[in-house]
C-alpha cells in the first residue's frame, strides 16, 4: 500500500520486529522516526538513510518521551501516525516472587510508556486533522501467561487504553487500534523458546512443536506480517477501522 508522505513515529524500532516495521513503512513511502533505548542500534538503523531518522529514548521516562517528540517534530514537521511498539518481557517468576522494582519497570515501559507517547501524539494528530495510533499488545492479553504476571497485565492494560482512546479521539478523526502479535519468528522470539527448552531439558524442535500445538494454524508469525497489518491500518483503506484488537497470530488458543 502507498503511504507516500505519511509521517510516523515508531517506538522500540531499532531491533527485533521493530526494525522490520520501520523499514517496511519506509519502503511504502512513509517518513519514519524511530525511538529505541539502544544507542548503537538507532545509529545503525538511521545511518545514511534520509527516510528513517532516530532518537534514543527510554519510553518509560516521560521527560525523554517529550524530547523524542520534539526531535521528531524537527525531522518530520508533523505527525500522522504513532506506533507504540516498545516493550520489555519483564520477569519470569511466580507472582509472589516478582519484586516491586520488576513490576514497576515492566508496567512503566509497557503501559505508562504508551501513555507518555499518546499524550504527546494526540495534540499533534489533532493539529494534522486526524491520524492513527497503533498499540502493540500481545496474545497473552487474551490467553493469560503464568509466571509472567507483569507482562500479561501490562498487555491487558493496552487493550483498555485502546478502547478508551478510540471513543475519546474518534470525533477528532483519530483512529486507535491494537495489534496482538503471536509467536514471532525472529531472534528475540526464538531466544525465549530456546531458553525454555534448555530449562526443561528438552529438544528444541520438540519445544517448538509443543508450543505451536496451541496455535490453530500451527505456525509462527513473520515480522513482515505484523508490519503489513500495521501499514493497512495506517492507510486510507482502513480509514473507518478504530477501537479494534486485531490478532496476527494464527489464532493463539493457549499459552503455557
- DSSP 8-state code for residue 210: H
Sign of CA dihedral 139, 143, 146, 148: positive
Q: Which range of residues forms the domain containing residue 16?
A: 7-248
Is position 152 within any domain? yes
Name the 3-class secondary structure at 221: strand
**pLDDT value at residue 3:** 94
Is position 255 within any domain? no
Nearest partner of 26 among 5, 56, 55, judged by Cα: 5
102 class by beta-carbon count within 10 Å (0-12 exposed, 13-18 middle, 19+ buried): middle
Is position 105 within any domain? yes
Predicted structure pTM score: 0.91
Strand partners, 135: 84, 178
**pLDDT value at residue 114:** 98
Q: Round to whole Å and give the CA distance between 15 and 100.
A: 28
Length of the chain: 256
Is position 187 within any domain? yes
Report the number of distinct structural domains present in the chain.
1
Name the 3-class secondary structure at 213: coil
Cell numbers representing residue 98 in the block? 516478582
**pLDDT value at residue 256:** 72
Q: Round to whole Å and give the CA distance between 81 and 233.
A: 10
**pLDDT value at residue 50:** 64
Is position 253 within any domain? no
CATH number at residue 88: 3.40.50.720
Does residue 105 contact residue 55 with C-beta atoms inside 8 Å? Answer: no
Q: Per-residue pLDDT tens, the chain, 256 aa: give them.
A: 789 999 999 999 877 788 899 999 999 999 999 999 988 877 777 755 567 899 999 999 999 999 999 999 999 999 999 999 999 999 999 999 999 999 999 999 999 999 999 999 999 999 999 999 999 999 999 999 999 999 999 999 999 999 999 999 999 999 999 999 988 888 777 777 888 888 888 888 888 888 888 889 898 889 999 999 999 999 999 999 999 999 998 888 888 7
**pLDDT value at residue 251:** 87
Which residues are the active-site residues? 151
Amino acid at each position: 500500500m502507498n503511504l507516500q508522505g505519511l509521517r510516523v513515529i515508531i517506538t522500540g524500532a531499532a531491533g527485533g520486529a521493530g526494525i522490520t516495521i520501520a523499514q517496511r513503512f519506509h519502503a511504502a513511502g512513509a517518513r519514519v522516526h524511530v525511538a529505541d533505548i539502544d544507542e548503537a542500534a538507532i545509529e545503525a538503523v538511521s545511518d545514511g538513510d534520509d527516510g528513517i531518522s532516530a532518537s534514543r529514548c527510554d519510553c518509560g521516562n516521560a521527560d525523554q518521551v517529550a524530547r523524542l517528540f520534539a526531535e521528531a517534530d524537527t525531522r518530520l514537521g508533523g505527525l500522522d501516525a504513532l506506533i507504540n511498539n516498545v516493550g520489555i518481557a519483564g520477569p519470569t517468576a511466580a507472582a509472589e516472587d516478582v519484586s516491586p522494582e520488576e513490576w514497576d519497570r515492566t508496567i512503566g515501559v509497557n503501559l505508562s510508556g504508551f501513555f507518555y507517547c499518546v499524550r504527546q501524539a494526540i495534540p499533534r494528530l489533532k493539529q494534522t486533522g486526524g491520524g492513527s495510533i497503533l498499540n502493540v499488545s500481545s496474545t497473552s492479553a487474551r490467553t493469560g501467561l503464568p509466571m509472567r504476571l507483569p507482562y500479561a497485565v501490562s498487555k491487558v492494560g493496552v487493550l483498555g487504553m485502546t478502547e478508551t482512546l478510540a471513543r475519546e479521539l474518534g470525533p477528532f478523526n483519530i483512529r486507535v487500534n491494537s495489534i496482538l502479535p503471536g509467536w514471532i519468528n525472529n531472534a528475540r522470539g526464538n531466544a525465549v523458546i530456546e531458553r525454555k527448552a534448555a530449562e526443561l531439558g528438552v529438544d528444541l524442535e520438540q519445544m517448538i512443536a509443543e508450543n505451536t500445538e496451541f496455535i490453530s494454524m500451527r505456525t509462527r508469525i513473520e515480522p513482515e506480517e505484523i508490519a503489513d497489518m500495521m501499514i493497512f491500518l495506517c492507510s486510507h483503506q482502513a480509514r473507518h477501522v478504530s477501537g479494534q484488537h486485531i490478532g496476527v497470530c494464527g489464532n493463539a488458543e493457549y499459552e503455557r
